[in-house]
Structure 1
Amino acid sequence: MYGKAFAAVVAASIITITTLIGGANAQDAKPVQGGTLNIGYLSDTKTLDPITSAQWTERQTLFLIFDTLIDVNPDFSLKPALAESWNFENDDKRIVLHLRNGVKFHDGTPFNAEAVKWNLETRLDPAVNSTQRSQLAPVIENVEAVDEHTVAINLKQPYPPLLAQLADRAGLMVSPTAAKTYGADIGSHPVGTGPFKFKEWVRGNHITLERNPDFWEKGMPYLDGITFNDIPSNVVGVQRMMIGELDYIGQLTPLDTRLAEASPDIGLVPATGGNWHSLQWRWDTAPFDNPKFREALAHAINRDRMNTILWAGKAQISSGITPAGLWWTPKDLVEYDYNPDKARKLLAEAGIKPGTSITLAAPSGDPLRRLAELAKEDFDAIGLNVQLAPVPMSEYYAKTVAGEIKFTPMRWTQRSDPDGLIQYLFASKGTANSTGYKNAEVDKWIEEARVTADLEVRKDLYNKIQRQISADLPYLPIGFASEFSAVHSSVHGFIPMPDLITRFRYMWKRAN
């Protein structure tokens, strides 16, 4: 049965993590109530509506205002959330969710089966343009409200990744009443069931959340409020931590940590697996539609030098999109060694003349800007003339999706099922396919992998998919960053997550 098969998939995908617990986030102390957690982050937030959300930093805030139907543990295994349990019927083509009783949205609207049905059907509606529609629509036949606290999702075929998706953005439940009240402006007035309620958003400055006194999980949350503060760089953020203005900053590079190490009040916790960094281009647009040109750029990049400069040599250099240790990570990808002479030869074969100018976006946030600067040096060294185009961190991804940016550094985090990222980025109709990549065989394999519950079959398909992607080069992989979270000594309850989305709901503060 699919239920057992899916459990096997989850068990096989467990990432072994070592949580380094020190003074800044000791777990042996008893939590206390009160206080405001001040977070510093490089914001690219556009909306706080999870149904249309696409930006990275939005997820940090969304996971506080909203609850998912299903949650994940630090090893990517699944656990109950708004759905207390689930089971499979009809040869695994029907998933029945048993919902938690007594939960209400922040506006007083009852959370029930009708609310879940509305949330999923809204995501499936083509007119809504949900970022999750491309993942859900091909597999969900319909959604039934069986009774007040039971929902049935009828599938077109068995779909192993669905439960993992319901633990991410697709499972964040929005108040139907609030959506009707605010309409297109719901992204500025988010209403969920989560531990914190939306209070204020001053764009370009901060987002403020306050404690939900009616949260369904007894005794939670501990904090009175959380404020997300926009910072121009991690270095500035650490400086603000040192004078007591901030309590937490994530995704610091080893270079960023040097200043933090000088403060006895700041603890550094390594990530369980860093962001996947790469360079992406419009694969279907000249000159990037030329395979020899793409290959030339791949051989021009000195990944080891980037690793040394950006991540103190501690990153995991990779030719693929998934890190070592996951069941879906292949070992026989196409390798592009650092070979400037071969790169120059390939440029000539591609008909690219010396001095040809190309534009590379340089997002303002670290380390993407640094990555762009280092890439320019490598590309200039083989005879190209790379023009760096500065772009605000808050705008670069939206401009990339819109096709305004043709060549840019990019970073992504892992999902708890391979379909969550591979379909999203590399299916020709994937929501986040901003490269224009299209390969009929890859599309076919992605669809086959989505509907089978046989782990070995899925593994073989994902290996083929990734081998083909590494040959086609819609992205130029760099590797998986070495990253740290800076946590003030007054903050407790921080546990690193493999998807790099910090679960601030479990954190608390104590005066030193």
Structure 2
Amino acid sequence: MPVGKAGGKANFVHYLDVATLDPHTPTAADSAYQYQLYNSLVGLDQNRVTPSIGLAEKWEIADPTTITFTLRQGIKFHDGTPFNAEAVKVNVTRILDPALKATWAAQLAAIDRVEVVNDSTARFVLKRPDASLLFALASVYGAGIVSPTALNKYGKDIKSNPVGTGPFTLDKWVPGSQVVVKKNPNYWEKDSKGNPLPYLEQVTISPIPDPTVRFANLQTGEATMGIVELQDMAAAEKHPELNVVKGVPGGSVHSLIYFNFAMAPMDNVNLRKAMAWSIDPSVVGKNVYFDRAVVAEGALITPDSWAYTTLKDRPRYDVAKAKEFLRAGGKPDGFDMEVIAFSAPAVTQQTEIYQEMWKKIGINVKVTTQEVATSVASFFSQQKFPLWSAMWAGTSVEPSTVPTIAWKKDGFYNPAKKPITPELDGLIDKARQTYDEKERKELYHQINTIVVAEQCICVPLLLGQYHGVYRKNVKNTESFYFGWFNRLQNLYLA
């Protein structure tokens, strides 16, 4: 990556507001904010494919249930306290504490304990082998490392008093308006010439739900970078002062329906299938995403993942079949229900289109919209709605992530908080415990077939790409590859 120059301030316009700055209890809205403040124990390469060094400079897998991490020395948290093995132990213990209900708890469930060998060495002792653990530890979202001193000082209020080791420190947070972060002068990462990162002195992240205002800010230069709706993408690509950078193909599930299979009427698998098979996602692909999204053929695994497979029997648009499922579910004339959608413009639009499609087979749907964090709580924690219409940004080349956090009975994103089928949790555990890639791929195909095709719990409808839009004076934008503006420390202004 080219060496940049230090200095300058950037303004980033997002469509999502931040709900919490606690990296152990994040929702989908929080990623771009938290990555500026925290680091994870393990890193990932630029394309998020292979574990690489992070706060740990190396690790040794002595046997399938013992991993010893050698930590970087001399790193300090933003409060001046040292990062060390005790800090790693405190953070992992906190994530695994059932009282916290951490987003990543199921991801780290194989860990029995963390042993402090010395200040720079932490030994992880596992209950069972876990081929996915390094990837789980490579995510700031869910596993960012927080200052133990700050945790003791602030408790639950760490959500608004973040203290990490990340490239920026929190300067100001005005909920609903802006988050301002400033350069961490003691940050440990360097560029290829040994110059300190980050290059930028300050970044202001502003949540602007209105896509027209967001794009206007980028056009005028009021914003330096941001997320633009696909309705404006053609204009952004033609704009002489803007640069559009595309993320990994299929890295975003633009449209998804998720059922609470413990809540009537979606506790009936045939009625779930009736709703899924009555949707023609190509209509949304054309009218909402302007032909920049493709109809999903698999599950929630990035298509460039080694574990990606298509699912032959997954829901596809077929009105006659949808009506058959209605009859099989005991509701031949349809039924009434309420669904929740989060309030991003594209999600609202696509849900309204699906609402009309459902109406054609007799399913009368009332749509309630809420901002992202509220809708996540309403559906997954409070179980207020039987169906959630959304987009899903959590796809990964590592196939274990979504099944673990969403489809296991104790997964944060399992709305029913019970097993989907008697055998599914065992299959997910088995897939994490084997290191044989061919065997893992087959297991994940079985898992996805159960969840998407047979039980119709979580149905991705459209896949697309992240798009980052930058003013042309912003350099090193290739760090956007997977999306979400997570590595702003690499950016500089020419």
TM-score bracket, normalised by the shorter chain, equals over 0.9
Structure 2 unaligned regions, length at least 5: 191-195
Candidates 471, 487, 491, aligned match of 1:503: 487
Contact conserved, 2:36 with 2:486, CA < 8 A, in 1?
Answer: no
CA distance in 2 between partners of 1:486 and 1:211 (Å): 22
1:456 is matched with: 438
Letter in 2 for 1:294: R
CA deviation after TM superposition for structure 1 residue 223, in Å: 0.4
Contact conserved, 2:282 with 2:294, CA < 8 A, in 1?
Answer: no
Contact conserved, 2:18 with 2:29, CA < 8 A, in 1?
Answer: yes
CA deviation after TM superposition for structure 1 residue 397, in Å: 1.7
Is 1:477 paired with 2:455? no
Contact conserved, 2:467 with 2:483, CA < 8 A, in 1?
Answer: no
Contact conserved, 1:118 with 1:176, CA < 8 A, in 2?
Answer: yes
CA deviation after TM superposition for structure 1 residue 350, in Å: 2.1
SS at match of 1:272: coil
CA deviation after TM superposition for structure 1 residue 200, in Å: 1.0
SS at match of 1:256: helix
Contact conserved, 1:323 with 1:480, CA < 8 A, in 2?
Answer: no
SS at match of 1:357: strand
CA deviation after TM superposition for structure 1 residue 499, in Å: 5.9
Candidates 471, 475, 481, aligned match of 1:488: 471
Give the structure-2-normalised TM-score.
Answer: 0.92
1:260 is matched with: 236
Contact conserved, 1:310 with 1:367, CA < 8 A, in 2?
Answer: yes
Change (3 A) 1:41 1:343: same
For 1:418-429, list aligned pairs within 5 A: 418-429=399-410
For 1:86-485, list aligned pairs within 5 A: 86-89=59-62, 91-137=63-109, 139-168=110-139, 169-218=141-190, 219-250=196-227, 252-261=228-237, 263-273=239-249, 274-276=251-253, 277-319=255-297, 320-352=299-331, 354=333, 356-401=335-380, 402-412=382-392, 413-434=394-415, 438-470=420-452, 471-485=454-468
Contact conserved, 1:42 with 1:393, CA < 8 A, in 2?
Answer: no
SS at match of 2:282: helix
Spell out, residue by residue over 1:157-207, the C-alpha distance to the aligned partner (whole angstroms, 9 max, x if none): 221111111110354110001111112211110001111001111111111
Structure 1 unaligned regions, length at least 5: 1-26
Give the structure-1-normalised TM-score.
Answer: 0.89
CA deviation after TM superposition for structure 1 residue 405, in Å: 3.0
For 1:14-33, list aligned pairs within 5 A: 30-33=3-6
1:38 is matched with: 11
Contact conserved, 2:32 with 2:484, CA < 8 A, in 1?
Answer: no
Spell out, residue by residue over 1:372-422, the C-alpha distance to the aligned partner (whole angstroms, 9 max, x if none): 111112111222222222323452222222212332212222234211111
Higher mean displacement: 141-150 or 124-133: 124-133
Spell out, residue by residue over 1:9-48, the C-alpha distance to the aligned partner (whole angstroms, 9 max, x if none): xxxxxxxxxxxxxxxxxx76x5121111211112242211
Letter in 2 for 1:404: K
Change (3 A) 1:260 1:480: same
Contact conserved, 2:225 with 2:468, CA < 8 A, in 1?
Answer: yes
CA distance in 1 between partners of 2:483 and 2:137 (Å): 15
CA deviation after TM superposition for structure 1 residue 487, in Å: 0.9
CA distance in 1 between partners of 2:102 and 2:303 (Å): 32
CA distance in 2 between partners of 1:305 and 1:400 (Å): 26
Change (3 A) 1:253 1:293: same
CA distance in 1 between partners of 2:443 and 2:461 (Å): 23
CA distance in 2 between partners of 1:299 and 1:508 (Å): 47
Change (3 A) 1:44 1:428: farther
CA deviation after TM superposition for structure 1 residue 357, in Å: 2.1
Contact conserved, 2:218 with 2:224, CA < 8 A, in 1?
Answer: yes
CA distance in 2 between partners of 1:337 and 1:149 (Å): 53
Contact conserved, 2:167 with 2:184, CA < 8 A, in 1?
Answer: yes
CA distance in 1 between partners of 2:144 and 2:483 (Å): 16
- % identical equivalent positions: 29
CA deviation after TM superposition for structure 1 residue 355, in Å: 6.1
Higher mean displacement: 212-221 or 317-326: 317-326
Letter in 1 for 2:246: P
CA distance in 2 between partners of 1:65 and 1:425 (Å): 26
Contact conserved, 2:466 with 2:482, CA < 8 A, in 1?
Answer: no
SS at match of 2:357: helix
CA distance in 2 between partners of 1:460 and 1:141 (Å): 28
